[in-house]
Amino acid sequence: MIKQEINEIKRLYTPSHCSITRICGCYVDGEKNKKTDFKEAFLSLPEEEIFKYFELLRKALSGSLGKNMLNLEFPLVSEEEGGTQAFLLGLRDSKLKEDSLLDEFYDKVIASYEYVGNYLILLIHDAYDVPGKTNDGLTMEDASDTVYEYILCCICPVNLSKPGLSYDAETNEFHNRIRDWIVEMPEVGFLFPSFNDRCSDIHSTLYYTKKPEEPHPEFVDNVLGAVLPLTAGSQKETFQALIEETLGEEAEYEVVKNIHENLTELIEEHKEIPEPLTLDKRQVRDLFEKSGVEEEKLTNFEQLYDNAAGENAYLLADNVANTKTFEVRTPDIVVKVNPIRADLVNTMTLHGKQCLVIEINEHVEVNGIPIKNHVESLSQ
């Protein structure tokens, strides 16, 4: 799914667009015991509760693609009879009205979701009448192309509210606040099936994790049966390791800077394209070659890539590139530069010593104080 498709589903979680048919939930304590469960027609809930549920559902479709939100494909084994994808498909098709399927789903979650504390498993069913679009992208609300039927799951921590004082308006006094159990924003969630090309795609799911570096692989493996890609942090570490291992001990400043500049340029060129920019093995090799890595150093690149990332793995450009700053670090100095102006920092040998040379313009500040005649001062 791309960002526009995710936002289209998020817009359903408002009173004017809501088409959710059913909501179910199971409250689990810290000992993995089911404390209670519920099943309701969503629109029969009090308005105040509906708005609170909307917040939770929207949160499970938020964050950055490739970090918090991951498009996961089901392997063929998951789509076989008795597989995880087949089970989720049956759960969706039941419209959450079969208690035995719901209980089995809750048991799967409880058995595989590692969390210390109480939590709420939320599950909704929705049938979205997808409006058609004209060739120029205008939405035609009265011209539906298809119905997108899906389930969305959120797993939300339930914690005691913080202690404190509260004001009692009736007595005009302050008292110790009563601590309640509060349902917090979801830690993980998933949308099944995916809404790819504005249609149902039963071969994939959109997975949400609040903490990109803690994606709960046991949950993904046992409940979804999908394969997690490298986390955003691992992708960045992998890319850096590839640069270091490819260049070896003779890594040159200009080559590393060129890799940064060329990668930043690729991201800028891709900016108007909805799909995230991904780099496979061949594209990373082409990037290195374009940046000045010698051919002899690329001889074993394919093997290095397979060992570091995986044979068929890809890296998201936004995960491996630092588009916010270009940083040069020594044990005593850190130089940070606007990433699109990395050309201002170069290396040079002066008086037999390797030096960083930073090009400056007429405006220079030191600790916030403008410095005049800095060129003349530096030349003396």
Residues 336 and 250 in one domain: no
- Cα 313 to Cα 6, 270, 284, distances in angstroms: 24, 20, 11
* Pair 270, 156 in one domain: no
3 state DSSP class of 222: helix
**What's the rounded mean pLDDT across residues 71-80?**
92
How would you classify residue 216: left for phi > 0, otherwise alpha for psi between -120 and 50, otherwise beta?
Answer: left
Q: What is the pTM of this model?
A: 0.83
Same domain flag for 83 and 172 = yes
Q: Does one domain contain both 291 and 189?
A: no
CB atoms within 10 A of CB 326: 21
Cβ neighbours of residue 127 under 8 Å, at least 6 residues apart?
19, 21, 147, 148, 149
Q: How many residues does the chain have?
A: 380
Of the pLDDT bands very low, low, confident and very high (cuts 50, 70, 90), residue 252 is: confident
Q: Token pair for residue 37? A: 């469960």
Least confident window among 29-38, 172-181, 258-267: 172-181
Tell me the C-alpha to C-alpha distance, in Å, between residue 132 and each of 6, 157, 199, 329: 17, 38, 11, 53
Q: Which of 6-10, 135-139, 177-181 has the lowest mean pLDDT?
A: 135-139
pLDDT band at 37 (very low <50, low <70, confident <90, very high): very high
Using the Cα atoms of residue 24, residue 187, residue 185 and residue 164 in order, give the sign of their dihedral. Answer: positive
Q: Are residues 302 and 163 in the same domain?
A: no
In this model, does residue 288 exceed pLDDT 60? yes
Mean per-residue pLDDT, 228-257: 89
Q: How confident is the model at residue 356 (pLDDT cuts 50, 70, 90)?
A: confident
Q: Identify whether residues 285 and 241 lie together within a single domain.
A: yes
Spell out where 95-245 has E strands: 118-133, 139-160, 165-168, 173-176, 181-183, 188-192, 194-196, 199-201, 204-209
Q: How sure is the predictor about 17, in pLDDT bands with cuts at 50, 70 and 90? A: very high
In this prediction, residue 117 carries a pLDDT of 93
Per residue in 82-114, pLDDT (tens digit) is 999 999 999 999 999 999 999 999 999 999 999
Domain match, 30 and 178 both: yes
Residue 251 has pLDDT above 70, yes or no: yes
Give the integer Cα–Cα distance in Å for 160 and 175: 18
Question: How many domains are contained in the chain?
Answer: 3
Q: Which of 233, 149, 150, 238 is nearest to 189 (CA)?
A: 150
Helix (H, G, I), strand (E, B) or coil at 32: coil
Give percent above pLDDT 70 in the chain. 95
Q: What residues contact 35, with CB distance under 8 A and at least 6 apart?
A: 27, 28, 29, 118
Q: Looking at residues 234-253, what average pLDDT do you find?
A: 88
Do the beta carbons of residue 157 and residue 27 sit within 8 Å? no
> What is the extent of the structural domain holding 266?
233-320
Of 283, 305, 320, which residue constitutes the final position of a domain? 320
DSSP of 275-341: SPPEE-HHHHHHHHHHTT--GGGGTTHHHHHHHHT-TT--EEHHHH---S-EEEE-SS-EEEE-GGG
Q: Give helix 232-247 / helix 281-290 axis angle, nearest 10°.
A: 50
Sign of CA dihedral 272, 273, 279, 283: negative
Q: What are the DSSP E strand ranges found in 161-197?
A: 165-168, 173-176, 181-183, 188-192, 194-196
Please check whether residues 7 and 142 belong to one and the same domain. yes
CA gap 65, 69 in Å, rounded: 5
pLDDT of residue 137: 61
Q: Answer for the pair 117, 30: CB distance below 8 angstroms, yes or no.
A: yes
Q: Which of 184, 200, 228 is the last residue of a domain?
A: 228
| Confidence label for 325 from pLDDT (cuts 50, 70 and 90) | confident
Kindly state whether residues 39 and 127 are assigned to the same domain: yes
Residue at a domain's end among 168, 203, 228? 228
CA atoms within 13 A on the CB side of 294: 7
> Which residues are 188's β-sheet partners?
155, 209
The answer to whether 156 and 128 are in contact (CB under 8 A) is no
Average per-residue pLDDT for the chain: 89
For 221, 228, 343, 347, 374, the CA distances from 192, given in Å and listed in that order, are 15, 16, 46, 52, 61
The answer on 216 and 316 residing in a single domain is no
Using only C-alpha atoms, what is the Rg of the chain? 27
* Residue 379 banded pLDDT, cuts 50, 70, 90: very low
Residues 202 and 239 in one domain: no
Per-residue confidence (pLDDT) for residue 380, from 0 to 100: 42
Residue 377 has pLDDT above 70, yes or no: no
Comparing 23-27, 189-193, 277-281, the range with the smallest average pLDDT is 277-281
Of 71, 70, 72, 60, give the one whose Cα is nearest residue 13. 60
> What does the pLDDT read at residue 203?
95
Compare 46 and 371 and report the one with higher pLDDT.
46
Mark whether 107 and 10 lie in a shared domain.
yes
